[in-house]
Amino acid sequence: MSVDPALLSILRCPDEHHAELTLDADEQTLTCTECGRVYEIRDGIPVLLLDEARSPGGADGDQR
């Protein structure tokens, strides 16, 4: 199941910078172009929650 490109184009990182997200079609994840957080896509629905995001190079979860 893939994400609607039209939906993808309006999605932004939920953090305060609201940067654009890059789709990884193989991993079914969205990566923030600003902070590098990785958001999972579950059943075609992007989970854009800071608590659910994977931080780059770190453990799962929120590291702040």
Which residues of this protein are in contact with Zn ion, per CB under 5 A?
13, 15, 19, 32, 34-35
Given the complex with Zn ion, which of 44 and 56 has the nearer CB atom? Answer: 56
Given the complex with Zn ion, which of 13 and 38 has the nearer CB atom? Answer: 13
Do 44 and 62 contact (CB within 8 A), yes or no? no
Tell how many helices (H) and how many strands (E) occur in the chain: 1, 4
CB 27 → Zn ion: shortest distance, Å? 17
CB 37 → Zn ion: shortest distance, Å? 5
Sign of the C-alpha dihedral, residues 62, 16, 23, 8? positive
Given the complex with Zn ion, which of 34 and 40 has the nearer CB atom? Answer: 34
Label the pairing between strands 45-46 and 38-42.
antiparallel
